[in-house]
A = this chain, B = another copy of it.
Amino acid sequence: MKESIQLAHGGGAAQSAELIRELFFRYFSNEILLQAEDAAVLPMSGGKLAFTTDGFTVSPRQFPGGDIGKLAVCGTCNDLAMMGARPRYMSAGFILEEGFALSELEALVRSMAEELAHNGCQIVTGDTKVVPRGSADGLYITTSAVGSVEIPSLSAAALQPGHRIVVSGPVGDHGTVIFAQREGMDLQTDLVSDCASLWPAVQEIIQNGIPLVAMRDATRGGLSAVLHEWAQQSSVSLTVQQDAIPVRPEVLGICELLGFEPYHLANEGTFVLAVEARHAAELVEVLRTKTACHQASIIGEVCEGHQGKVILETAWGTRRFMEMGSGELLPRIC
């Protein structure tokens, strides 16, 4: 193969076939994919399906803790996991800029394959387009996935007063890492993105029989976006103790320096759960001891009144509305 992507790699003829065979089939190999039909036929039976899609245009494409390939698989599988669905089958659509290095593409495809394995998910169908030099910023990946629903009743509209809000770990790591890398800041720490696949943790919650009300990963818009969506969709308010939100010191440091709030920063692994009060402590215990979420914490509860609002209680006992965040929060971080 050539060393960089040519327009012909997207042309549907011989060079396209070579790229598919030599790269995608090699790393994503499975029986369904190798059928190479127009559409993949999935051997699924019964039960409800979940279906989701996500586009990845992140820059930089490599960052401490991951790359755009890992991110694409995590992000899309996590959207399924957050609906209580086991990730099963994925499609991958690549938009490549002419001249993109094949070595980098291979590294990203390898990352994707590794992360798929953590989810027990397979890429069964794909598409590659090549656009002329200057018409894309390197590469964009759009992944879609189908999963089988194992927790049937999760809903952002199901929160009721008294439910507890749990966050799975520190917020803002991904946003901080990407921001620092973009701006050429040397954080002089080992801070890495929280980019991770969440299905293993969700599976642990299921196996421990803990019923959940809602789950959502705090990606674009951060913790604040999830809390506001829930407050609005469930017509309730959420009260959150600012001190209870786990934030790493280095993230807090950057935020204080630059005037950000950690709960507005993007995450790629940290997720938020709503649970009945009587199950909250056990949920945190399971997350802390049986999954990678060692800093899982109860951060607040669902309340009546102030519908659609999120109320932040500070350590000094003051209360204020958490801002929803609007406009461009940071240089694009997902």
Q: Which residues of A come within 8 Å of B, CB atoms?
A: 6-8, 10-16, 35-46, 48-57, 78-80, 82-83, 85, 89, 91-95, 124-132, 134-137, 140, 142, 144, 146-147, 149, 154-157, 216-217, 219-221, 225, 229, 233, 266, 324-329, 332, 334
Contact = CB atoms under 8 A, between A and B. Distances in A.
Contact of A135 (B48, B56, B136): B136
A51 B53 CA distance: 13
Contacts of A325: 11, 13-14
A225 B15 CA distance: 12
Contacts of A147: 39
10 contacts: A8-B326, A11-B221, A11-B328, A14-B325, A37-B83, A41-B85, A55-B128, A95-B95, A131-B137, A136-B140
B144 A53 contact: yes
Contacts of A95: 55, 57, 95, 140, 142
Contact of A55 (B6, B39, B142, B327): B142
A167 B146 CA distance: 33
Contacts of A129: 55-57, 140, 334
Contacts of A328: 6-8, 11
Q: Which 3 A-B pairs have the closest CB atoms?
A: A12-B220, A53-B91, A144-B144
Nearest to A7: B328
B38 A216 contact: yes
Contacts of A43: 48
Contact of A49 (B135, B146, B326): B146
Contacts of A46: 45-46
A94 B15 contact: no
